[in-house]
Structure 1
Amino acid sequence: MNEYLPYDTVLTGGTVYDGSGGLGVVRNVGISDGIVRAITTEPLAVGPSTDVIDATGQWVMPGFVDVHTHYDAEVLVGPGLTESVRHGVTTVLLGNCSLSTLYSTPVDIADLFSRVEALPREHVLKAVDAHKTWTNPNEYIDALERLPLGPNIAALVGHSDLRAHVMGLDRATDHSQKPTREEFSAMADALTTALDAGLLGMSTMTNPWDKLDGDRYRSRSLPSSYARWKEFRALHKILRRRGRLLQSIPNLNTKYDMIFFLGSATGLGRTPLKISLLAAADAKASPWIHHIFGPLAQLVNGPGRGQFRWQHLPTTFDVYSDGIDLVVFEEFGSGRAALHLREELGRNDLLSDEAYRRWFRADFEKKFSSRVWHRDFADAQITECPDASVVGKNIAEVAAERGIHVVDAFLDLVVEHGRKLRWHTTIANHRRKQMDKLITRPGVTVGFSDAGAHLRNMAFYNFGIRLLHRVHGARGDRRPFMSVENAVYKLSGELAEFYGVDAGHLRVGDRADVVVIDPAGLDDEVLAYREETMPEFGGLSRMVNRNDQAVTATLIAGRIVYREGEFAPWFGVSERAGSFLRAGTTTAPHPRERV
């Protein structure tokens, strides 16, 4: 007799994609005790307490894995992470871009995270200060698992977190200071302790554009950008020896450290270092650059015998800005000077100064400076403004009407309206053909959603749904760029396998992290943005996605946590669904009482 009959949950008649890249097959899925117990064409035993989902005509697949989030503070005060879960994400990775909450003090953590990730500093500080009871990685994991977690959590330890913890934030962000021998040893020990606890690896950042918040060391770059090659090599050696991962963003000014990272990933005469690097994109600022990502990855992973992956956001990279509060202005000196000033009156005095404006115009018009933003105000449409006459126009049109330089028009609007001036531009992935090619390149994986960060600037919580929308829409093409089964693999199994985490598959014996997708709901609504208040951060209005017709249900550890636009009443509030996923370890579902 089967001890699991009747099943806790049964999904009937759906096309099952198992996350391996194999063809979808119509099957029934039976789940008990949070584990997939049957995938079969046979009818499954249903009892009075069995939850039944009729998935006829729909796709049943592993929950999506989001490997690039900045939920590190939000998870402490909103552990359901509902904006991701409602879009089929069942596993999220914390600790990206050199930032984690593992070791540093709450004040240092707030200064590290807030400006670079466009998070309200006071709320980051409040969240971490109220919840940080841990002093080591094992205590950190225990603290997370005492929360009513929504999705499963995996994590990296941040290099900037390590440096600030060991050297102090002041010395860690001072070019004249080098770690002492004892500090080198302490960083190595802290990294090793994190890996022993089950963290997947380390994240770092060498791009100097990303700055500290707060009043103490405001506008200094993140600590990891001050590290020298000796420090990188020592930490990489530990990761390489343990078979763990490095996630990084290269220096976008000099770019030569990209060669260092590519070389570090090779396996010629040694164990390769797993590296995930940002970001493969078809950037408007560099319309040729999309050609290089595939060949570089093939060179490292082929002749170089490496383990290298690019992260790619599989949708158009749209961003919004309230006034001048957008990270792209960190790219050049005059922009950084404006963002250095938090108080609006002082900032307006600066923006009104003619000498400053000449500086801004010179920076803006430099032809050969490093950039992510293409700096074209004709491609900056005003979406909200107290002056209704400019809404719907781009900033270049406003400049033409006023008979002034486009930079002056922009700065005038910011001085006049501050953060009430809201505008939109597209940074990258604006050409469908190039975007379709990028996602199919070997060595290019899905990532860079930045979920939980840039709350007023962008929303890619539904990155998986957006990729499936494109794939579904292309099925009628003579040569569709990708099959559904391969898209599912890229959103689940491929990421889980590379990162070494127990997720991303739908097989008998697996933990039942599942999403049910209705292809009829993959319409243009998936591309739309809305705003919702965020009680966890003082009622802040943030950009979100709402395409509830696409996701029929999300299951985490076998429990239906989201179904037809509604969350279970206990989800993220009183009961835990997800677990902390340790590197290379199979994780059983969190036990719950059977009714």
Structure 2
Amino acid sequence: MSADLVIKGGTLVDGTGEPRRRAEVAITDGRITEIGVNLDGRNVIDASGQIVAPGFIDIHTHYDAQVFWDPGLSPSCYHGVTTVVAGNCGFSIAPTRPEHHDLIARTLENVEDMDVAALAAGIPWDFATFPEYLASVERRGTGLNFAAYIGHTALRLFVLGDAAYERASTPEEVTQIQATLREAMLAGAAGFATSFAITHRGVDGKPVPSRFSDRTEFEAILDVMREVGRGVVSIAPGQQCGIADMYELQPKTGVPFTYGALLTSPTGQHRQQVELNHAGWSNGAQVWPQITPRPLVFALTLAAPFTFNMNSNFAELMGKAIPERREAYANASWRAKAMAEWDANPGFTVPRWETFEIAQSPAHPELEGRRVSELAQQRGVTPFDVLLDLALDEPELALRARCILANDDVDEVAALLSEPHCAVGLSDAGAHVSQLCDAPQATDLLGNWVRGRNAISLEMAIRKLSGAQADMLGLPDPIRRVCDFPADTERLTADNPTGVQHVLVNGTPIRAEGQQVNTDLRPGRLVRPAARQLARGAR
């Protein structure tokens, strides 16, 4: 019988890690029906000279809101990504109550650099519960396959109300949290996501609601995840659950854990995390640190310096008007207090001043591209003073600086990419729109690390972008066999990577001959994880 479509002439890399081979792929009704030779189809894609591979799965996005006004989910759709997972870091937009719509939006503004006005205009808010949210997305349709975690911050706000931003939950509230989580998981949530990270501050600089939970609440949540036996637990680690704790908790819970992030650092701390992961897997713990092929580069303004907000002196200014910030920045005593806090707490939270450069300065365009450390040396002051002084020269503190936080050691990144039990994640697609764009991580991995540096094999890279992600998420076999085939990549840009010739979502082309097509169609599906066979050690 003739298939709807056959992909001919290409080299198949199937996402299992097995060696590439010449093969044709037949698709009917959006499903792969045969892989072989001399296949017949009513339509043919000529993939001669190209790699044919499963669609990529981006496990760390924040498309929870954008899916409503941009169902194509750009820019991920340009890079061979055909399935995304939203709700990361615990910042889903459901469950929610009408009185908390603005609070959810302002939380997302602070932690994920989202625009409150855009959220108000774009989210239909025709849902309250998480099942209703999934139904709303499914009813409207998506350009890519879509999965979503239920987020801890939204979950606590739904149960505790405004008190979620103030305290731990009571036993009665814990029971309600469990019931709401159970309802979401059975309706098809991809898992549970939370943040205990000091980087995440919400409204008025307060820790986000998930950071007010305690270990009792968290372990009660894990009990539900063990009970339902599907999806994953995604954690931004912190006081309530550190990285080492995950290797103790995961075997008792049964479903896999993943955390963000495992990034290279000048201190070499990432090597300790790698050794911990080796030991954990040897002992049966399924914990997947998230890695990325890209350096963690941030662009920040002094009007809203996201990466500085881990410093309590900056956190106190969150939500303040520009005049109040100007007053603080001009105050020598305030500057000294901020620097003293960094000096007292070395590590990830301390800016790497040697990486800072001026990205945009309307008042001093001649300084754009200059290293802040060089300017500091010339002026006989600290790099921190240079940033603040230049910002004060701008009417709205509009100075924009670019800096590297981590993951810029090429050799060490290559080593992390070769780790078998690390998941490619951290694209943050849909968030941080004025600060970073790591949605092209799939084409970065293929173009720069496979082809450019030969750091890992093509087979391993595609396994990490597709099959390994599906295994971790527990995607059902019918979903995993959907035809989503991009080609290899040559040149990396956010919105027009050359080399990604064809992309199919459930058998429907969304990219052909290197150009986006069928932009009005919504061939994506809501992806629900399948139930797992849990290990005997899960309690």
More helix by share: 2
Give runs of aligned pairs for residues 49-68 of structure 1, distance below 5 A: 50=43, 52-68=44-60
Whole-Å Cα distance in 2 between the matches of residues 372 and 338 of structure 1? 21
Whole-Å Cα distance in 1 between the matches of residues 119 and 479 of structure 2? 34
Give runs of aligned pairs for residues 330-479 of structure 1, distance below 5 A: 330-341=309-320, 343-364=321-342, 366=343, 369=345, 371-386=347-362, 387-417=364-394, 418=396, 420-473=398-451
Task: From 300, 313, 318, give the equivalent of 2:297.
Answer: 318
Give the direction of change, closer, same or farther, for the CA distance of 1:471–1:395 in structure 2 (3 Å limit): closer
Tell me the equivalent position of 1:77.
69
How far off is 1:272 after superposition? Answer: 3.1
Give the direction of change, closer, same or farther, for the CA distance of 1:326–1:504 in structure 2 (3 Å limit): farther
Tell me the equivalent position of 1:590.
none
Whole-Å Cα distance in 2 between the matches of residues 450 and 396 of structure 1? 29
Tell me the equivalent position of 1:182.
172
Tell me the equivalent position of 1:157.
150
Give 3-state SS (helix, strand or coil) of 1:492's partner. Answer: helix
Whole-Å Cα distance in 2 between the matches of residues 262 and 310 of structure 1? 11
**Superimposed CA distance per residue, residues 425-472 of structure 1 (whole angstroms, 9 cap, x where no aligned partner):** 222221111011112123211111111111011111111111112343
- Cα pair 1:493 1:503 within 8 Å, conserved: no
| Runs (5+) with no aligned partner, structure 1 | 529-544, 587-595
Matched, 1:114 2:109: yes
Amino acid in structure 2 at the alignment position of 1:250: P
Amino acid in structure 1 at the alignment position of 2:132: E
Amino acid in structure 2 at the alignment position of 1:369: N
Amino acid in structure 2 at the alignment position of 1:35: R
| Runs (5+) with no aligned partner, structure 2 | 533-539
**Segments of 4+ in structure 1 off by > 4 A?**
503-506
How far off is 1:89 after superposition? Answer: 0.5
How far off is 1:22 after superposition? Answer: 1.0
Tell me the equivalent position of 1:295.
275
Tell me the equivalent position of 2:219.
233
Tell me the equivalent position of 1:20.
16
- Cα pair 2:450 2:456 within 8 Å, conserved: no
- Cα pair 1:317 1:429 within 8 Å, conserved: yes
Whole-Å Cα distance in 2 between the matches of residues 97 and 481 of structure 1? 29
Tell me the equivalent position of 2:30.
34
Give the direction of change, closer, same or farther, for the CA distance of 1:43–1:200 in structure 2 (3 Å limit): closer
Task: From 228, 253, 258, give the equivalent of 1:276.
Answer: 258
Matched, 1:576 2:522: yes
Tell me the equivalent position of 1:559.
508
- Cα pair 1:317 1:428 within 8 Å, conserved: yes
How far off is 1:503 after superposition? Answer: 7.4
- Cα pair 1:149 1:577 within 8 Å, conserved: yes
Could you state the TM-score of these two structures normalised by the residue count of structure 1? Answer: 0.84
Give 3-state SS (helix, strand or coil) of 1:516's partner. Answer: coil
How far off is 1:81 after superposition? Answer: 0.5
How far off is 1:247 after superposition? Answer: 0.4
- Cα pair 1:282 1:429 within 8 Å, conserved: yes
Whole-Å Cα distance in 2 between the matches of residues 493 and 505 of structure 1? 12
Tell me the equivalent position of 1:258.
243
**Superimposed CA distance per residue, residues 12-44 of structure 1 (whole angstroms, 9 cap, x where no aligned partner):** 211111111111111222222111123222153
Whole-Å Cα distance in 2 between the matches of residues 321 and 504 of structure 1? 43
How far off is 1:278 after superposition? Answer: 1.2
Deviation larger for 403-412 or 457-466: 403-412
- Cα pair 2:127 2:136 within 8 Å, conserved: yes
Amino acid in structure 1 at the alignment position of 2:27: I
Whole-Å Cα distance in 1 between the matches of residues 286 and 450 of structure 2? 30
**Superimposed CA distance per residue, residues 30-69 of structure 1 (whole angstroms, 9 cap, x where no aligned partner):** 22211112322215334xxx2x322111111011101111
- Cα pair 2:96 2:129 within 8 Å, conserved: no
How far off is 1:283 after superposition? Answer: 2.1
Give the direction of change, closer, same or farther, for the CA distance of 1:381–1:139 in structure 2 (3 Å limit): same
Give the direction of change, closer, same or farther, for the CA distance of 1:201–1:85 in structure 2 (3 Å limit): same
How far off is 1:577 after superposition? Answer: 0.9
**Superimposed CA distance per residue, residues 459-510 of structure 1 (whole angstroms, 9 cap, x where no aligned partner):** 11111111112343357xxxx532111110000000111111247987xxx2
Using the aligned pairs only, state the percent identity.
27
How far off is 1:399 after superposition? Answer: 2.3
Give 3-state SS (helix, strand or coil) of 2:408's partner. Answer: coil
How far off is 1:187 after superposition? Answer: 0.6
Note the aligned Cα RMSD (angstroms). Answer: 2.2
Whole-Å Cα distance in 2 between the matches of residues 505 and 469 of structure 1? 27
Give 3-state SS (helix, strand or coil) of 2:503's partner. Answer: strand
- Cα pair 2:96 2:128 within 8 Å, conserved: no
Give the direction of change, closer, same or farther, for the CA distance of 1:227–1:256 in structure 2 (3 Å limit): closer
**Superimposed CA distance per residue, residues 303-361 of structure 1 (whole angstroms, 9 cap, x where no aligned partner):** 2x2211101112222221233533211121222233342x2222212211222122223
Task: From 87, 91, 96, give the equivalent of 1:99.
Answer: 91
Whole-Å Cα distance in 1 between the matches of residues 172 and 382 of structure 2? 55
Deviation larger for 320-329 or 11-20: 320-329
Amino acid in structure 1 at the alignment position of 2:506: A
Task: From 185, 188, 200, give the equivalent of 2:190.
Answer: 200
Amino acid in structure 1 at the alignment position of 2:268: W
- Cα pair 1:208 1:222 within 8 Å, conserved: no
Give 3-state SS (helix, strand or coil) of 1:517's partner. Answer: coil
Equivalent pairs counted in the alignment come to 526
Whole-Å Cα distance in 2 between the matches of residues 517 and 390 of structure 1? 39
How far off is 1:80 after superposition? Answer: 1.1
- Cα pair 1:561 1:568 within 8 Å, conserved: yes
